[in-house]
């Protein structure tokens, strides 16, 4: 199999593009007699034209030319240019789109092939002279937009579009065997980190990804990563309000001796920080660990929390060595509880995935197989995991042999409503049926968890389910919000439809979501002003790279020069809204807040004001397969299943009852890297 660059061509696509059928046929013609009268010549010419026309109509004839059409994709209009001659589609090109990099559009500049629909669908249509080509797994909406736009162009060219829908022949039913040292199931953040780590430790690696391109839910994450950072945190003055958060954290009642030891460590470090006369922001690995454990209701496996937090700095350095770039400021991500959040310089999770993809493209030891779903873990007579069975989109079956073992990194189950409802037993959440999810439906289905169960893997804390208040109100997607919404808690307030605050904005994710669900229509608005990081909405961009004007036109944000104007646009009482903002501004001055907020940086005083409507959505499942501190999957007796490790959201026990914002990406990096090291030992 040929190795791909960014999206890495799948066997399925290669097969479908190799089969050329339908659409273009030979055109019949009728020659005039050699000797004719002038009248006969005219009659013959007319007869020839009629015959040609009839034949061409039967063959799906076209009027040669260049045609364009636009159709709605996932994020906006997808514009296609189609060039035809009189019998065939000469070229198809997507000339403009707003689709998510790595899912609907190329992740890397200059990308020319692969199973990205704005690239692969046009290529397949030209190759097969048919618009009846397969959608790209995981990008069906963009795929449909491209095909629909091409169909529109063919109609403009005078075609009978049914003539251009000849089913593409597929080579199916093949049995394919491939060997490697390590097989990684899942090409999201954790799986790619594991693949690179295993390769760095000398292993030949195959990554099996069910979508058309790698990236998983990491592609649409908030792009934030938590770790103590002495250099950046030394530039932040520690306010009295923030000190209260620390003091409350070390004042909690310990639940066991290990918890008490951790509390005592942080208390001693904090005392030393003050004794040294430091006034800048305090942080340490122990404080990060304690906040993560406390923030998860003290139900996580503390040893796993320590692995996460004590290796976060190392993971941060490692991914930067791979080429990842972060902004040079520290912030507090949504629900992260402390100013230790680093943000990618690229939109959403594209920075993480493009970093991995570029490294893999240059690594001959890693092979990527996309559009192929793992179905079974293979064990030998001793019970050791030695491979994976899988099936691609065409029905071809695969047997991947893994000499050293398998890494499970297939994600959680937040997009599987049946599993969510089965395990939603804590009493924290009411019926979650019908609640949107921030995840991609092609990901987070829990299929890797089921595979592990089938060979006896134990599960851990499956009942721990997280909602996030960052979902847009159209489809729940974690997209199209101003950057401060995810990493600028200090510069905004949350208001309901009545223009009133209802919760502390720097609190836990679950506490905020519970309050959101109680507001009118179970939604709210982020409200920010021109007083923070960006003062010019004409040039500012959302977290995923759109202009504010584009987002306002599409209904994702509301912009107003004054609070009176904002109240009118939101349909709330202007005096109520202004009183809400005035009360908050007074809290910034006093450091005392009615909802207990401790993080402030600016007052909301100057327009333009921006309101972003959001809702609480299913986001992360903290439960999954049970692992030890080396990432090895454990069975019901607590013994490791030989040859099987796991990393990322598929695992349980790390985050407890509430995952801190920004810790999911830390999880993928730290445990992904660890999984690659463990499986190659």
The reply to whether omega before 34 is within 30° of 0 (cis) is: no
Is there a contact between 660 and 489 (Cβ–Cβ < 8 Å)? no
Beta strands in 171-319 (DSSP E): 175-185, 205-208, 224-226
What does the DSSP 8-state code read for residue 169?
P
DSSP letter at 505? Answer: T
Helical (H) or strand (E) element with 92: strand 89-96
Q: Is 151 helix (H, G, I), strand (E, B) or coil?
A: helix
Contact 147, 133 (CB under 8 A): yes
Question: What's the distance, CA 354 to chain centroid?
Answer: 12
d(CA 77, CA 99): 9
Phi then psi dihedrals of residue 264, to 5 deg? -65, -35
- Rounded CA-CA distance 470/479 in Å is 8
- And the tokens for 54? 């009839």
Q: CB-based contacts of 171: which residues, under 8 Å, 6+ apart? A: 15, 18, 19, 394, 396
**CA 59 to centroid of chain Cα atoms:** 44
Distance CA 97, CA 142 (A): 9
The owner of tokens 């609190």 is 507
HSE toward the beta carbon, residue 6, CA cutoff 13 A = 23
With beta carbons less than 8 A apart as the criterion, state whether 648 and 671 touch. Answer: yes
Instruction: Report phi then psi at 381, rounded to 5.
Output: -65, -20
Q: How many CA atoms lie within 13 A of 310 on its CB side?
A: 10
What is the number of alpha carbons within 13 Å of residue 130 lying toward its C-beta? 20
Do residues 169 and 99 touch, judged by C-beta distance below 8 A? Answer: no
54 and 161 in contact (C-beta within 8 Å)? no
Residues noted as catalytic: 509
The total of other beta-carbon atoms located within 10 Å of residue 642's CB is 15
Instruction: Give phi and psi for 607, each to the nearest 5.
Output: -80, 170
């Amino acid at each position: 199999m040929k190795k791909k660059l960014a999206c890495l061509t799948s066997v399925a696509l290669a097969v479908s593009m190799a089969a050329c059928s339908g659409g273009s046929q030979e055109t019949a013609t009728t020659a005039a007699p050699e000797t004719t009268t002038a009248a006969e010549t005219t009659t013959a010419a007319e007869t020839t034209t009629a015959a040609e026309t009839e034949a061409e109509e039967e063959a799906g004839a076209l009027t040669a030319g260049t045609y364009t059409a636009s159709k709605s994709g996932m994020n906006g209009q997808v514009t296609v240019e189609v060039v035809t001659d009189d019998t065939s589609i000469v070229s198809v090109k997507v000339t403009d789109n707003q689709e998510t990099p790595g899912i609907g559009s190329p992740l890397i500049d200059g990308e020319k092939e692969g199973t990205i629909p704005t690239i692969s669908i046009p290529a397949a249509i030209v190759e097969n002279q048919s618009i009846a080509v397969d959608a790209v797994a995981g990008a069906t909406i963009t795929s449909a937009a491209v095909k629909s736009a091409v169909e529109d162009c063919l109609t403009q060219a005078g075609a009978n579009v049914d003539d251009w829908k000849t089913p593409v022949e597929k080579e199916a039913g093949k049995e394919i065997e491939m060997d490697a040292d390590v097989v990684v199931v899942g090409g999201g953040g954790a799986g790619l980190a594991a693949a690179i780590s295993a390769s760095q430790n000398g292993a030949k690696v195959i990554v099996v990804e069910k979508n058309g391109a790698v990236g998983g839910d990491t592609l649409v994450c908030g792009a934030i990563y938590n770790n103590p950072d002495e250099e950046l945190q030394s530039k932040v003055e520690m306010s009295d309000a923030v000190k209260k958060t620390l003091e409350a954290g070390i004042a909690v009642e310990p639940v066991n001796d290990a918890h008490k030891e951790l509390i005592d460590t942080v208390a001693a470090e904090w005392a030393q920080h003050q004794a040294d006369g430091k006034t800048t922001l305090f942080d340490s690995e122990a404080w990060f660990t304690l906040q993560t454990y406390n923030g998860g209701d003290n139900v996580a496996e503390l040893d796993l929390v320590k692995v996460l937090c004590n290796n976060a700095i190392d993971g941060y350095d490692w991914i930067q060595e791979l080429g990842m770039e972060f902004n040079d400021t520290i912030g507090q991500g949504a629900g992260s509880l402390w100013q230790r959040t680093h943000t990618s310089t690229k939109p959403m999770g594209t920075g993480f995935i493009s970093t991995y993809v570029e490294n893999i493209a240059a690594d001959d030891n890693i092979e990527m197989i996309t559009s192929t779903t793992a179905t079974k873990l293979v064990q030998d007579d001793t019970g050791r995991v030695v491979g994976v069975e899988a099936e691609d989109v065409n029905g071809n079956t695969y047997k991947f042999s893994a000499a050293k073992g398998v890494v499970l990194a297939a994600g959680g189950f937040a997009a599987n409503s049946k599993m969510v409802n089965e395990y939603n037993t804590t009493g924290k959440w009411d019926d979650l049926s019908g609640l949107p999810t921030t995840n991609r439906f092609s990901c987070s289905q829990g299929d890797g968890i089921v595979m592990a169960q089938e060979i006896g893997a134990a599960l851990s804390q499956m009942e721990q389910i997280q909602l996030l208040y960052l979902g847009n109100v159209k489809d729940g997607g974690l997209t199209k919000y101003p950057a401060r919404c995810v990493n600028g808690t200090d510069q905004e307030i949350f208001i309901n439809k009545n223009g009133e605050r209802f919760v502390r904005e720097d609190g836990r994710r679950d506490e905020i979501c519970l309050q959101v669900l109680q507001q009118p229509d179970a939604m709210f608005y982020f409200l920010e002003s021109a007083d923070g990081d960006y003062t010019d909405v004409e040039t500012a961009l959302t977290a995923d790279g759109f202009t504010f004007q584009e987002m306002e036109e599409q209904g994702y944000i509301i912009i107003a020069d004054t609070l009176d104007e904002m109240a009118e646009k939101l349909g709330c009482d202007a005096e109520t809204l202004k009183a809400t903002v005035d009360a908050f501004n007074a809290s910034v001055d006093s450091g005392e807040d009615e909802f207990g907020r401790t993080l402030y940086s600016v007052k909301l005083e100057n327009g333009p004001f921006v309101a972003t409507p959001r809702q609480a959505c299913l986001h992360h499942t903290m439960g999954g397969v049970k692992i030890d501190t080396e990432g090895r999957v454990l069975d019901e007796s607590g013994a490791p299943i030989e040859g099987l490790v796991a990393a990322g959201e598929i695992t349980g026990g790390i985050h407890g009852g509430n995952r801190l914002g920004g810790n999911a990406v830390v999880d993928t990096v730290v445990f992904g890297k660890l999984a690659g090291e463990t499986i190659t030992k």
